[in-house]
Amino acid sequence: MDLNDYIGPFIDETKDNLQRLNEYLLAFEEGNENVINEIFRVAHTLKGMAGTMGFSNMASLTHTMEDVLDGVRNGKFYLRREEDISLLFECLDTLNQFLEDIKEGKGDVKVDTTEIKEKLVRILQIEEQKTALETSSVDKEEICDHGLRNVKVALRKDCMLKGARAMMVVEEISSIGRVEFADPSMETILEGKFSGNEFSILVKTQVSDEDIREAVQSVGEVLSCTVEEHGTSRKDKSSRQVQGSSRKGHAKSEEEKVTDAVKSIQRKTNQTVRVDVQRLDKLLNLVGELVIGRSRIEKLARDVDFKEFEEPIMQLGRISKDIQELVTKLRMLPISFIFDRFPRLVRDLSHTLEKKVSLELEGRETELDRSVIDEIGDPMVHLIRNSLDHGIETSEERLAAGKSETGRLKVRAYQDGSSVVVAVEDDGKGIDRDKVVAKAIEKGIITEEQAEKATDREALQFLFIPGFSTTDTISDISGRGVGMDAVKSKVESLGGRMYIESDNGEGTSVKIKLPITLAIVLALLVTIDGRVYAIPLESVDETIKVDREQAKVVNGSLVTMLRGSILNLIDARQFYGIPEREEQDNLSVVVMRTGFRRIGFIVDDFIGQQEIVIKNLGNTGTTRIKWFSGGTILGDGSVALIIDPAAVEETS
């Protein structure tokens, strides 16, 4: 058996289980002790999976964790809220590191677990010296005669790894008792050579039949489990067959509630499959080619004015549009994939900073393209770190300011047209505008005269300048002079925009507006020196015509007045080093927004809006490419470069 064929599902399932452990431990820490059985079950499952795949170091750590959790769930001892639970979180971090190494093909041998395992063993040694579980606390009616039970297990007929699944079943049974006998032999079972997908285990245990069944049911691909009293063919009155696999405390799936006759129909109508993301990327590329082909056919039909083509072209347009929307939805993931990290992050940071923080999450079901999801996680983490470190005050400071001692951090997501807005909001001390301006003057960014004229919104934009920081003390959390500028750059590289608002003493709100997908977007097509260029419509506020006489040079910059405000103008021909255009009475200006700043980009002419497929330009190592975020193929087969407004503003 080649285990390499199963490394992908192992990584996916382990990642899901580690996330569940994080959530359960957080709930346990908050006082919900009922989840301890689930914590034990998931840890036990992780151990079995790691052992089956041959990752012995990973299995060894989870085995030691399991010993601690088993003692807690059986009431032998209690976890100290701070120290012991933090150690379990440290174990999860180590398991995540194992998983990252496994994904990179390094196996599980790079991480040293000696110290963390010693800490876990120390918990056992200390607590076992305290109070043991009294025999009288055991329900005598649930103890079997002589404690011997015959457990008959049947795996599903379509089970691919019989030996691996059987090993996991044996591991589960071993966790609640001592295995006395196996039929067929244990070697035959573990090799998966038993016939009919059935085997029996004789176990000596003091747990109830229900607990035995639940242990077996926690393993996937189990068809049925029957528990009998040893030495009799009579089934225990409480035993029953259980179809499928289910975990303690969880509602059974629909498949477990229906008969075999309905199952075949259920599988056809309610089924999910894991798909390699590279296949989805390839499918999206093919859909992009279909969109390009459709545009070319539409243009050719318009050029020759064939009326007979109108109806079939419209039908082709509808079909290709439906396919495009379907493929886009296939790539969508709920933003909970990012949000699920935050409770643990806030928990750890609040402990480190010795602050009381309440986290609220809204809009977890809001969906984004997985390419956006993959990129936006780290910027969101930085914003949360900033809120906790710079924004939310200590309990003493909050009480002195007349606030509750617990700070509120709210992270929410919602759809806004063709975009998704993600907001990080806190009720902390806000941003001191005067301090920001003073720092800007100190760094020579602005003069004192300019500072007096700067609005609050303009002052906050200094926070996005590389190396700008108002923090006097450097810490591991923030204040190193990098961060907000990197967040802004990442957001704008995704075609998004970033907004920051703050009320001194009341709190701060940072909003990120992102396109739902990066593959196929609406764009404004313009011409510059006879060539067509595209500007993402998400970054376009409006298009205007400016009388040449209304464009003036002020302090070396070309500007014009737009509804009472000064608009800086950038001539595309000068910017790209193209010969100047002939004198025109009116200038065609695209008003582009980057962050809170607006710039007017002078082009030769507007063509109109069009749906475009973004193609990566690759890394050529030249500065000129930085002005463009990609390219696209137009309806006539020509290539148009996609202008990056943020790069234009940054290099102008």
Q: Phi-psi category of 507—alpha, beta or left, where left has phi over 0 and alpha has psi -120 to 50? A: left
* Alpha helices (runs of H) in 175-269, residue ranges in sequence order: 186-190, 209-217, 254-257, 260-269
Helix (H, G, I), strand (E, B) or coil at 346: helix
Q: What would the CATH number be for the domain defined by 3-133?
A: 1.20.120.160
Region 63-79: mean pLDDT is 82
How open is the CA angle 594-600-603, to the nearest 5 degrees? 120
Query: Is 386 annotated as catalytic?
Result: yes
> Residue ranges per domain, the chain?
3-133, 140-247, 281-331, 347-515, 520-651
Average pLDDT, the chain: 79
Region 519-524: mean pLDDT is 82
Q: What is the pTM of this model?
A: 0.62
| pLDDT value of residue 256 | 41
Among the listed residues 22, 57, 66, 150, the single catalytic one is 66
Among the listed residues 17, 37, 38, 44, the single catalytic one is 44
- What is the domain class of 281-331 according to CATH? mainly alpha
Do you find a cis peptide bond into 184, omega within 30 degrees of 0?
A: yes
Confidence band, pLDDT 50/70/90 cuts, at residue 28:
confident
| pLDDT exceeds 80 at position 82 | no
Region 300-320: mean pLDDT is 80
- What is the domain class of 140-247 according to CATH? alpha beta
| pLDDT value of residue 384 | 93
How open is the CA angle 575-581-585, to the nearest 5 degrees? 115
| pLDDT value of residue 235 | 37
| pLDDT tens column, 195-227 | 778 898 888 887 888 888 888 888 878 888 999
Beta-bridged to residue 640, according to DSSP, are 632
How open is the CA angle 62-68-69, to the nearest 5 degrees? 85
The residue that leads in pLDDT, 636 or 421, is 421
Region 598-608: mean pLDDT is 92
Q: Which helix (H) or strand (E) holds 622?
A: none
| pLDDT tens column, 92-138 | 999 999 999 998 888 888 888 889 988 888 877 665 544 443 333 33
Query: Is 146 annotated as catalytic?
Result: no
| pLDDT exceeds 80 at position 453 | no
| pLDDT exceeds 50 at position 257 | no
User: How many contiguous H segments (helices) and E segments (strands) does the chain have?
Assistant: 22, 22
Is the distance from CB of 284 to CB of 519 less than 8 angstroms?
yes
| pLDDT exceeds 60 at position 271 | no
| pLDDT value of residue 618 | 59
Among the listed residues 17, 386, 492, 649, the single catalytic one is 386
| pLDDT exceeds 70 at position 268 | no
Joined tokens for residue 354: 């010795």
Answer CATH for 520-651 from 2.40.50.140, 3.40.50.20, 3.40.50.10300, 2.40.50.180: 2.40.50.180
Checking 633-637 for CB contacts under 8 A at 24+ apart, the result is: 633/292, 634/295, 634/525, 634/532, 634/610, 635/292, 635/295, 635/296, 635/298, 635/299, 636/296, 636/299, 637/296
| pLDDT exceeds 50 at position 275 | yes
d(CA 264, CA 270): 10
Confidence band, pLDDT 50/70/90 cuts, at residue 615:
confident
| pLDDT value of residue 621 | 45
| pLDDT tens column, 159-197 | 877 877 888 888 788 778 777 788 888 778 877 788 778
Q: Is the dihedral of CA 465, 467, 472, 473 positive or negative?
A: positive
| pLDDT value of residue 13 | 85
Q: How many residues does the chain have?
A: 652
- Return the CATH fold of 347-515: Heat Shock Protein 90 (3.30.565)
Q: Between the CA of residue 437 and those of 390, 421, 432, 508, what are the distances in Å?
A: 17, 28, 9, 17
Q: Is the dihedral of CA 190, 194, 196, 202 positive or negative?
A: negative
- Residues ≥6 apart with Cβ < 8 Å to 326: none
Query: Is 619 annotated as catalytic?
Result: no
Q: Tell me which range, 31-40, 212-221, 306-315, 601-610, is most confidently predicted by mean pLDDT.
A: 601-610
Region 228-251: mean pLDDT is 43
